[in-house]
Amino acid sequence: MRLSTKGRFAVTAMIDVALRESLGPVPLSDIAVRHKISLSYLEQMFSKLRQHGLVESTRGPGGGYTLGQRSDSITVADIIGAVDGRAEPLGLGADRAGEAMAPGMPQDITQDLWDSLNSKMVDYMQSISLRTLTTEQRSKGFRVDDRKIANRGVFKKPKQEPVRASTPNSVFALGKSLLARG
């Protein structure tokens, strides 16, 4: 399993969605602003996450992304595997499956070590669920602010404030205001 910036951003974004799942769909633009991640980069990642069934999308005003499965059934390994383009997280040995290594080569000597390390890393990533990560964030005092729903559309008329002029509306009113000041 490769640990990359893409995987880190995907895990961060999924934690964000999981923390706000009770508020409804989370727009990618909100995630981009909160975590300073490019919106187009998020769109590419969430496309892959959606293809793997980890998130569901809702179109239109008030749309965004929600979790596609329960948060306790999504693991960090699932998220990283989805954005790295693999259906299942693969190890270093599987990345080298196409290479024919001659016996006794220096890479062959340490391959068992790297395969073992990778196996332990994959096991650890599979043991951490999205629910565990969100519970950890909440225990650290993270609070989700209620999302303000934008007043978009033709049905809600904007509230008009009364116009109060603080400037004189004529030459005579200007003269009166100047005389009153003294």
Report the pLDDT value the prediction gives residue 105, as an integer from 0 to 100.
Answer: 60
Average pLDDT over residues 148-168: 62
The answer to whether 80 and 89 are in contact (CB under 8 A) is yes
The whole-chain average pLDDT of the chain stands at 80
Top pLDDT among 18 and 169 is at 18
Out of 80-84, 113-117, 146-150, 163-167, pick the least confident: 146-150
Task: Determine the pLDDT at residue 180.
Answer: 81
- Tell whether the model's pLDDT for residue 169 goes beyond 90: no
Give the pLDDT confidence score for residue 131 in this predicted structure. 93
CB under 8 Å to 182, separation ≥6 — which residues? none
Answer yes or no: is pLDDT of 12 > 90.
yes
Mean pLDDT score, 94-113: 63
Residue type, 89: P
Q: What percentage of the chain carries pLDDT values higher than 90? A: 40
Q: Residue type for 61, please?
A: P
Phi/psi for 153 (5° steps) reads 105, 180
Give the residue among 1, 5, 18 at the shortest CA–CA distance from 93.
1
* Per-residue pLDDT at 90: 42
**Whether the Cβ atoms of residue 50 and residue 56 lie closer than 8 Å to each other:** yes
Q: Which fold has domain 1-93+129-146?
A: Arc Repressor Mutant, subunit A (1.10.10)
Map residue 155 onto helix, strand or coil: coil
pLDDT classification of 15: cutoffs 50, 70, 90:
very high
pLDDT at 114 (0 to 100): 87
Confidence band, pLDDT 50/70/90 cuts, at residue 67: very high
